[in-house]
Amino acid sequence: MKKIIIINGPNLNLLGNRERDIYGDISLQEIENKAREKCKKMNMDLFFCQSNNEGELINFIQSAEEKYDGLIINPAAFTHTSVALLDALRAISKPKIEIHLSNIYNREDYRKISITSEGVNGLICGFDSFSYILAIEAINNLIKV
């Protein structure tokens, strides 16, 4: 059974309540439930986590090398600022996908730059919560077990 980790960055715990015009009405718990359902159908084991702390996100990323076959990350605001997350992603040899609920290229200028995407195999953005489902399908195809 393939094992994946989905890592969620800062403020994503507020989904469903914050900036609904951008991020929609769905909560992170609802996204997790949909991701678990998709993984179950694909016979994949999922660890789903969220933190507002950059260091904790780095620890989650580093754990992927030994514990998981692939990694999906929504770095949220750290996408545009964190060289530390980029360095952690680059240190992991497993397949990695970056995701975003909104289309970062259709937002403010500072959000159009993804520092972290330089450390992943691919980027999925702009499909709301379906970005997570697309990423699960993509990571399944990238994992060679």
Active-site residue numbers?
Answer: 23, 100
Output b/e per residue, 59-68; b: 16+ Cβ within 10 A.
ebbebbeeeb
Q: Cα(107)–Cα(84) distance, rounded to whole angstroms? A: 23
Tokens linked to 134: 């697309």
Q: Do 125 and 102 touch, CB atoms closer than 8 A?
A: yes
Tokens linked to 52: 């507002």
Pairing type for strands 96-100 and 70-74 reads: parallel
Q: Cα(40)–Cα(77) distance, rounded to whole angstroms? A: 29
The closest of 25, 24, 50, 48 to 37, measured between CA atoms, is 48
